[in-house]
Structure 1
Amino acid sequence: MELRHLRCFVALAEERHFGRAAARLAMTQPPLTTAIQQLEASVGARLFERNSRGVAITAAGAALLPRAISLLEQAGAAAREARDVGLGLAGSLRIGFAGTVLYRGLPQVLQRFAAAHPRLRLSLHELSSAEQLAELAQDRLDLGFVHTPRVPPGFSQILLSSQAFMACLPAGHALAVEGAEALELKQLTGAPFALIMRAVSPDYHDRILAACAEAGFEPDLRFELRHWLSVVSVIAQGLGVGLVPAALQQAGLPGVVFRPLAAPLAPYDTHCLWRTQRDLAALQAFLDTVRAVAQA
């Protein structure tokens, strides 16, 4: 039993006339007759009886008709789905992201992409940059939003955003003056520090320690945490100070004050990263959106 047999069967069952059914299928009557005979042989029962007015469907044919229509509809839907996935109009993408991207860049990408591609499903996974690199290498993610300049061979990237580091202080700290002049990093000498864990973000962990050393002191590391938001939360409780990406001001946590640095650190960059050879139409559509947001 083939789909062409079922198409011929449904057309004849609905038209009840070989001539009209053949015209509907844009074919001549002999191949239509052959297709019906082949289907009857496959089923093992007569599906039609000829009469003076045309064709009458048998009980076996009537039983087959709704199933045949359903099978043809399913086949059509499957073909449309495959075509749309191939064109990047449907399907799914697995996306990794580091938490701070929620405050700078990622929401704008997701909103714009969802409006343009409502049938594409996005599966989002919050992971550290190191974890994303491992998942990307194993093809368990299609792309990631990472905070590291270390791009492995075979990967491409788009710089989505670049932001400054700021001093983050408890609201009751002597230096926590809104609108004050830029803060000299050495003014934090002796204060307990909260910092992102090196295992989570080695580049920025080391960068902050190096900046402190250049300012003439070694920070008193009291808290090493997995998330930047946790760093800000600890500071809000008055337990330390820290240097954090500027976008965390948008978190709106009470009890903290952000001050710019007189000698800025190298910026905190967010890169969209993917395998260069990964050829998915949906991925290319998503990357087009990332580029549009990055250039906005």
Structure 2
Amino acid sequence: MSHLETRQLQYFVVLAEELHFSRAAKRLCISQPPLSIAIKQLESTLDAQLFERNSRGVRLTHAGQHLLLQARDILERTRRAAMDTRAVAHGMAGSLRLGFVGSSMYRGLPQALELMRAQYPDVRVDLHELNSIDQIAALQSGKIDLGLMHTIAPPVGLIAQALVSEPFVACIPAGHPLAGEAKIAIAQLANERLILFSEAVSPDYFRVIRNMCQKAGFDPELRHEVRHWLSVLSLVGAGQGVSIVPACLQRAGMQGLAFKAIAEKTPSSVLQAMWQPLPAHPLIPILLGHLQAVVKKQLRATV
């Protein structure tokens, strides 16, 4: 035997709790011989003695104590997987592991999650804030079911759907000399210190914004490279530089900032969903439907 069986782990946990073969067999509604055989098979598979048996009874070895923690965790995850599968199959319940970039919070994600909770109160959405590259790795390894990320070409085996496309805007301190302008040309930022995402964290955003600056005739002076948009806004508000950010960040409500439209045409900032197509998680289209509805409402409100 080369693998662990759920039945063996169940028998092991009950015996570890009872520390008595007869009581454990009675609790499992089986006779004692099958229990003894299952435990011996489990010990053979693991090449480890799990119980010490003597005339006074049964007690766990150190190896058995270690396995008890692991076995309980395995059985609980197995139970939850079965429960979630049945619930999803019969009434839209279960769980969805969602990866997201920080800007999703200003692109309708909180409202979409609330709509989903109201419609399906038994659905659990587990949130994982990850940059775009880490989300792709998590999708490929099965650690998340759905990712909300910035524009990036989906690798083989994943499919993508664009959710939001919006312009970039200039973000400057409220007391900046350009704060009174209706629009700002990117060239007007040539002598400013630019606060930007780390290239390692978000190579797409880094490249797009740097290309905007180079097209305007200058290489940006990078003052800080950070990991989250709120950090960008905080540093700009503290007078540490300026930035070029997706327009949705105007909804962050931070004080001390001025957001200005960019005079020239620039690439769009795109938020997209990405997931494994097969087997498709049944909760994905439900959440995406709510998210698209919220985004449309937000766009109508800004027109």
- One fold, TM greater than 0.5? yes
Aligned position for 1:113? 116
Aligned position for 2:259? 258
Q: Indicate conservation of the 8 Å contact 2:107/2:295, yes or no.
A: no
* Structure 1 residue 142 corresponds to structure 2 residue 151: no
Q: Indicate conservation of the 8 Å contact 1:192/1:239, yes or no.
A: yes
* Structure 1 residue 99 corresponds to structure 2 residue 99: no
| Deviation of the 1:171 alpha carbon | 1.5
Give TM-score, length-normalised by structure 1: 0.69
Aligned position for 1:273? 274
| Deviation of the 1:287 alpha carbon | 3.8
Other structure's SS at 1:264 match: coil
Q: Residues of 1 paired with 2:85 and 2:105: CA distance? A: 32
Larger Rg, first or second structure (1 or 2): 1
Number of residue equivalences: 220
Q: Indicate conservation of the 8 Å contact 1:95/1:123, yes or no.
A: yes
Look up the equivalent residue of 1:135 and give its one-letter code: A
Q: Residues of 2 paired with 1:141 and 1:132: CA distance? A: 8
Counting only pairs closer than 5 Å after superposition, residues 1-296 of structure 1 correspond to structure 2 as 83-87=86-90, 89-177=92-180, 180-293=181-294
| Deviation of the 1:246 alpha carbon | 1.0
Pairwise CA RMSD: 2.3
Other structure's SS at 1:281 match: coil
Q: Residues of 1 paired with 2:244 and 2:258: CA distance? A: 11
Give TM-score, length-normalised by structure 2: 0.67
Unaligned 5+ runs, structure 1: 1-41, 45-77
Q: Residues of 2 paired with 1:199 and 1:96: CA distance? A: 18
Other structure's SS at 1:175 match: helix
Q: Residues of 2 paired with 1:213 and 1:248: CA distance? A: 24
Unaligned 5+ runs, structure 2: 1-28, 32-80, 298-303
**% same residue:** 41
Q: Residues of 2 paired with 1:252 and 1:210: CA distance? A: 28
| Deviation of the 1:293 alpha carbon | 4.2
| Deviation of the 1:295 alpha carbon | 5.4
1:123–1:212 CA distance, 2 compared to 1 (3 A)? same
Q: Indicate conservation of the 8 Å contact 2:99/2:144, yes or no.
A: yes
Aligned position for 1:53? none
Q: Residues of 2 paired with 1:141 and 1:83: CA distance? A: 20
Q: Indicate conservation of the 8 Å contact 1:87/1:282, yes or no.
A: no
Q: Residues of 2 paired with 1:214 and 1:202: CA distance? A: 18
Aligned position for 1:33? none
Q: Indicate conservation of the 8 Å contact 1:104/1:161, yes or no.
A: yes
| Deviation of the 1:164 alpha carbon | 1.2
1:155–1:87 CA distance, 2 compared to 1 (3 A)? farther
Look up the equivalent residue of 1:154 and give its one-letter code: G
